[in-house]
Amino acid sequence: MAGVVVSEFFKSVREEWPVIRQAPRTFLISFLLLLSIGYGAIYFIFRENLSRKNDLIHTLQGQLEALNKGAGRSDKVLDHPPSSTGAATANGPGGIANTGSGNRFSTGQPPAIVRTEKR
């Protein structure tokens, strides 16, 4: 249906093109006037909906800020990754785990315990 309307519109523009060429300013002014009337009508219809959505956005942003303050978080974005906590990391099942201090061991076998002090 929409394709038929569009093709009919372009067909009528082609037929009326000689008239449009004789009065381009009148056509442009009429086109802009119709465009602004259409925009105004759409804005008038949806302005209340837009206002409610803006109010909802402000309310949710306030709630998010309150939650972040309560959790002790800030909105500051780090420009570097956080430093390691020293926790062990592994590269998947059966991979080598890194303890964070440079010691490595296979996840299949725990590291040997070496005592350095004498009893």
Cα atoms found within 13 Å of the Cα of residue 44, Cβ hemisphere only: 6
pTM recorded for the entire structure = 0.38
Nearest alpha carbon to residue 103 among 116, 118, 94, 114: 114
Q: What is the pLDDT of residue 69?
A: 87
* Other C-beta atoms lying within 10 Å of the C-beta of residue 27: 14
62-76 residue pLDDT tens: 999 999 888 765 555
pLDDT tens, the chain, 119 aa long: 677 888 998 899 899 889 889 998 998 999 999 999 999 999 998 988 989 999 999 999 999 999 988 876 555 554 555 555 555 555 555 555 555 555 555 555 565 666 676 65
Q: What is the pLDDT of residue 73?
A: 58
